Amino acid sequence: MKRQAVILAAGEGTRMKSDLPKVLHRAAGIPMLNHVTNHATQIGVEDLFVIVGHGAEAVSRSLPDNAKTVLQAEQKGTGHAVMCAMDQLDPEALILVLSGDAPLISAQTLEQLIQTHEQGNYSATVLSANLEDPTGYGRVLRNESTCDLMGIIEEKDATPWQKSIKEINSGTYCFKGSALLDILPKLSQDNAQQEYYLTDTLALLKKEDKTVGVCCIDNSDEIMAVNTRVQLAQVEAIFRKRINHRHMMNGVTMIHPENTYIDHNVVIGKDTVIEAGAIIECGTIIGENCHIGHNTRISDSFIESGVTITSSTVISSRVGERTTVGPYAYLRPGSCIGKRVRIGDFVEVKNSTIGDDSTSAHLAYIGDAKIGKNVNVGCGVVFVNYDGKKKHQTIVKDNVFVGSNSNLVAPVTVGENAFVAAGSTITEDVPAEALAIARSRQTNKEEWTGKADDKAVKS
């Protein structure tokens, strides 16, 4: 049967106290809403409707191409939100309703909900869970003798007895298209919040002698919705735990998983070791047998196998096989480092290519450079790439030795096998095989100390 999904994401999220629409707050590196759209896509939903309202433009921009937005100009409740999409809903389809603020729900659980729904041939099925602390959620009301679902009562409308019920509504449902389309126009705003509650559809369907099912799941983590920043941090922690668990099961060693932060959609090869305090962000691929040392941050980068990175930051860059980076190195966007390269402490690289077997062991700035193979960049070398207005490129060909504390003032080219003497400021191209010395000559004044004027100079 064709699957459609409606994802509710129009609410303001008042309790977040934020300028950012609630569903755009990130969990494991991506907006909460995108976790939900991913799961819907994973289970083969054909039409994905996202109800937008607060911050509609920003929310729409964050959505994948397969999602269509439906504007709910005024937020009159979850039932009203689904009404806004009625024109687009197919009476023949199975319709999932999901909440943009509940990102932990897995594709597997959604399949379980659909299975319960289809096996029971229900008009509607709600996903529920039992919570130690059900505060804030709608409670599931069941018939005392048959245990059948009677309806859902919102906390704000509940009696003290109803509030003591621990089974809660996750805000995730499955409907027969025809039943949903038939019942939505019958919702009223007769409740504490004067909203159209989607939850009321269940009792209304019962009243019309339609059957309604409940799929109660054991893993209550999955249904957690975010209404406050405290809950956002809890959701984040659950994601981290899940993600780390998956990597460890795939052969990655984590010295201290509780203190290792890996975003959604990161790939890590087996036998890679990750130390405490590592932050590995979206879009990163790490090969096998790497060693990611403590307090390293890697974002949107490709790290080949056998690489060691210690206490360093790598952003939108590529690092070749068996290269070592750090401690305290900074690879800024557009850095492409070859194989067996050594990038040592306090070396900053930006928008540069460095060939295989080259070395920059300490204290250098390499910006807008093209460096060949087997090049040595000495300590304190600066690639002077900026003239105050524009950036310029420096080219250093294979086997060049750049002595310590040299400045290469771009645009400039140093030819193959050339040697730049320490302390040189290079402003003109250096031919291949040449030795370039660009510094003032040393003069030694013999027997200078002990003379009368020595004291004056020293003081």
Among 47, 101, 275, 357, binds ligand UD1 (CB under 6 A): 101
Please identify, using beta-carbon distances, which residue of 95 and 303 lies nearer to ligand UD1: 95
Q: Which of 174, 225, 280, 325 binds Ca ion (CB under 5 A)?
A: 225
Whole-angstrom distance, CA of residue 136 vs CA of residue 155: 6
Nearer to ligand UD1, 152 or 400 (CB): 152
Q: What b/e string do you get for 4-35 counting C-beta neighbours within 10 Å, with b at 16 or more?
A: bbbbbbbbebeebeeeebbbbbbbbbbbbbbb
DSSP string, 186-226: G----STT-S--TTHHHHHHHHTT--EEEEEES-GGGG---
Q: Which of 8, 174, 202, 214 binds ligand UD1 (CB under 6 A)?
A: 8
396 contacts 370 by C-beta, under 8 angstroms: yes
Residues 6 or more apart whose CB falls under 8 angstroms from that of 136 comprise: 155, 227
Name residue, tokens 């003081």.
Answer: 459
Which one among 16, 81, 165, 217 touches ligand UD1, defined by CB under 6 A? 81
- Decide: is 232 part of the binding site for ligand UD1 (CB under 6 A): no
Tokens matching residue 93: 């389809």
Of 219, 226, 306, 319, the closest CA to residue 271 belongs to 306
- What's the closest the beta carbon of residue 101 comes to Ca ion, in angstroms? 5
Nearer to ligand UD1, 80 or 362 (CB): 80
Contact predicate 337/322, CB 8 Å: no
CA–CA gap between residue 298 and residue 312 (Å, rounded): 8
103 binds, among Ca ion, ligand UD1, none (CB under 5 to 8 A by kind): none
Minimum Å gap between C-beta 222 and ligand UD1 is: 12
- Residue 11 contact, options ligand UD1, Ca ion, none, Cβ 5-8 Å cut-off depending on partner type: ligand UD1
Nearer to ligand UD1, 116 or 199 (CB): 199
3-state DSSP assignment of residue 66: coil
Q: What is d(CA 207, CA 292) in angstroms, rounded to the nearest whole number?
A: 60
Least distance from ligand UD1 to the Cβ atom of residue 200, Å: 8
Which single residue brings its beta carbon nearest to ligand UD1? 138
Return the range that interacts with Ca ion (CB under 5 A); candidates 68-76, 222-230, 349-357, 401-409: 222-230
Q: Which does 406 bind (CB under 5 to 8 A by kind): Ca ion, ligand UD1, none?
A: none
Site residues (CB under 6 A) for ligand UD1, limited to 170-199: 170-171, 197-199
CB of 74 to ligand UD1, least distance (A): 8
Least gap, CB of 202 to Ca ion (angstroms): 17
- Please provide residue 430's backbone torsions phi and psi, each rounded to the nearest 5 degrees: -110, 125
Using CB under 6 A as the binding rule, the residues of this chain from 294 to 313 that contact ligand UD1 are none
Taking CB under 6 A as the criterion, which residues in 355-414 touch ligand UD1?
none
Let me know if 145 is exposed, middle or buried by CB neighbors in 10 A (0-12, 13-18, 19+): exposed
The closest alpha carbon to 166, from 158, 176, 174, belongs to 158
- Closest separation between CB of residue 40 and ligand UD1, Å? 14
Under the criterion CB under 6 A, does residue 169 sit at the interface with ligand UD1? Answer: yes
387 CB-near residues (< 8 Å, 6+ apart): none
Give how far Cα 201 sits from Cα of 43, 167, 280, Å: 24, 18, 43
84 vs 179, beta carbon nearer Ca ion: 84
Separation in Å, CA 30 to CA 249, 367, 417: 23, 30, 47
Mark the segment that binds Ca ion (CB under 5 A) among 45-53, 223-231, 304-312, 338-346. Answer: 223-231
Cβ within 8 Å of residue 26, ≥6 positions away: 32
Q: Among 39, 264, 362, 392, which one carries the catalytic annotation?
A: 362
- Catalytic residue flag (residue 362): yes
Interactions with Ca ion, residue window 226-245 (CB under 5 A): 227
Interface with ligand UD1 includes 9 (CB under 6 A)? yes
The CB-of-171 to Ca ion minimum distance in angstroms stands at 6
Instruction: Answer whether the bond into residue 160 is a cis peptide, omega within 30°.
Output: no
Residue of 27, 50, 62, 137 that binds ligand UD1 (CB under 6 A):
137
Tokens 């003239």 found at: 387
Q: Which stretch binds Ca ion (CB under 5 A): 23-31, 179-187, 218-226, 327-335?
A: 218-226
Q: With contacts defined by CB under 6 A, how many residues of the chain interact with ligand UD1?
A: 31
From ligand UD1, Ca ion, none, which one binds at residue 436 (CB under 5 to 8 Å depending on kind)? none
Helix (H, G, I), strand (E, B) or coil at 179: helix
From candidates 138, 213, 293, 367, binder to ligand UD1 by CB under 6 A: 138
Residues of the shown chain interacting with Ca ion in the complex, contacts defined by CB under 5 A: 225, 227
Residues of the shown chain interacting with ligand UD1 in the complex, contacts defined by CB under 6 A: 8-11, 23, 51, 53, 72, 75-78, 80-81, 99-102, 137-138, 152, 154, 168-171, 197-199, 225, 227
Which residues are designated catalytic?
362
